[in-house]
Every structure is written in C-alpha cells, then in structure tokens.
Amino acid sequence: MEYTSLKQQLADKGYAITKPLFNAVEIDAILRHVAEVDPAKPTFRKTTDLFAIRQFLKEVPAVQPLLFKPAFNALVEELLGKNAFLVKSIYFDKPEQSNWFVAYHQDLTISVDQKIDWEGFGPWTVKQNQFAVQPPLTILENNLTIRIHLDDTTESNGALKVIPGSHCKGVYRPEAIDWQQETEEICPVESGAVMLMKPLLLHASNRTTNQQRRRVIHLEFSNEALPKPLQWSEQCFPF
C-alpha cells in the first residue's frame, strides 16, 4: 500500500481513499455476524431510513478478527503509530430507498464513560445513555476516522461530500461556509475499500436515489489518553 500518498492526501485534503482491503468473502462473513444479533437493544437504531449499531465492536464482537487483519492493522499503525487504539465504533446501513440526508458538519465530539466538568471539555450531550463532549481541538486534530465500506458507494447512494482542507480551519460552522472560496468533492468508495478522514473535515451525505444500499463500519482511533478521571467510553486495543 502506498502510505506516503495516503498520508499526504490526509494532511492536505483531510481525507484519503484506499484500494479494497477486504474481499467479498470477508464482507459476507462480517454481514452474517451483523444479521445474527438481536436489534432490540438501546445501542441499536432502526427506522425505514437507517439501521445503526452504536458500540458496534461490543455488540458484535465476532467481527473483530475479520476487521483487524494484518493489512488493516498496518494501515492504522502507519498513520497513528503503534500506540493507537480504538475509541468509537458504529455500523451504518442506509437502505435502498433511504431518504436519510445528513447536512454539512464536523465530528466535534468524543464518547466518554461519564460526565465530569473539566477545563477545555464542553459542551456535553447524552445520547442513548452515552456521554459525548467536545474536547480540546488538539485531540480532534490528532484523531482519525476510518470508514470501511461494505458496498460500492457513489454519489447516488450517499457517498460523502466533503470540503477539502476544512479540517485545517478549526471549528468551522456550516453556516459560515464561503462557497466563493470553498469547493466540494464527492468521495465514491469501492466495496471493501477504506475512507480515511479527519474528524474536523466538513462532510455531508445525500439521499439515496439509485436503489442501492450503503453499509459502512465507522471506526474512530486515537493515540492520546484523556486527562484522568475522564476515560474513553469504548477504548480498546484490538491489534
């Protein structure tokens, strides 16, 4: 894998896309494990437009050896170092007729195990018994999101739209986007390939128009411990 090019794209644009890392057999095995779990849990969300599993690796632990294969582990280590660890995992399934639309935003919060007032951390939210907080920008700047695509993703079934370079501008409110200065890029991703993304990259997703579903495993990694007693809610060392 060409790590130098990926690193440069990630630094300059805030995202990069790999060639397929997972083959059809591996993807089928992952999806079989997903189909076997009971969706009647608070970490599951199921509507006509979206099926999501929060704390995915906890809820479907059988997928871990399939995801954390040598090629994937080497990619994470190359980008974040040997001390990298996982801090969040979500499974998204956007069905064939989904009208689910996501407006431009940055991923400004992290998941922690409890609410503790701490300088530089805030505001706080609670979603499905999960505490989330906006941390200092240095943490968000160092974190990395890795999206494993289980289906071919195009503009017609919700491929991410991004504003390249927006990850370098701190907190960048969508209403402040200057379209005279900014450009938009669509990010199609092959099935089995991986999209790398900085949390501060402005990104959005359109509704599905081609009757093709889009299933993605969203993983967030860090290499930075939080100030005690704050703890990542989903911290694990899967490598």
Span 156-206, pLDDT tens digits: 998 999 999 999 999 999 999 999 999 999 999 999 999 999 999 999 998
* pLDDT confidence bin for 224, thresholds 50/70/90: very high
pLDDT given for residue 109 in this prediction:
97
Please tell me which of 99-108, 121-130, 139-148 the model is most confident about, judged by mean pLDDT: 139-148
pLDDT at 56 over 90: yes
Q: How confident is the model at residue 90 (pLDDT cuts 50, 70, 90)?
A: very high
Q: Compute the average pLDDT of residues 20-31.
A: 98
Burial classification of residue 74, based on how many CB atoms lie within 10 Å of its CB (0-12 exposed, 13-18 middle, 19 or more buried): middle
Write down the mean pLDDT value for the chain: 93
Average confidence (pLDDT) over 6-10: 97
- Three-class secondary structure assignment of the chain: CCHHHHHHHHHHHCEEECCCCCCHHHHHHHHHHHHHCCCCCCCEEECCCCEEEECHHHHCHHHHHHHCCHHHHHHHHHHHCCCCEEEEEEEEEECCCCCCCEEEECCCCEEECCCCCECCECCEEEECCEEEECCCHHHHHHCEEEEEECCCECHHHCCEEECCCHHHCCCCCHHHCCCCCCCCEEECECCCCEEEECCCCCEEECCCCCCCCEEEEEEEEECCCCCCCCCECCCECCC
| Banded pLDDT at 129 (limits 50, 70, 90) | confident
- Tell me whether residue 134 is exposed, middle or buried, using C-beta atoms within 10 angstroms of its C-beta: 0 to 12, 13 to 18, 19 or more: middle
Task: Compute the average pLDDT of residues 6-23.
Answer: 97
Q: Is the pLDDT of residue 106 over 70?
A: yes
Q: Label residue 49 by pLDDT band (50, 70, 90).
A: low
Which is more confidently placed, 212 or 56?
Answer: 56
Ordered structural domains, the chain, with CATH: 3-222 (2.60.120.620)
Q: Give the pLDDT of residue 101.
A: 84
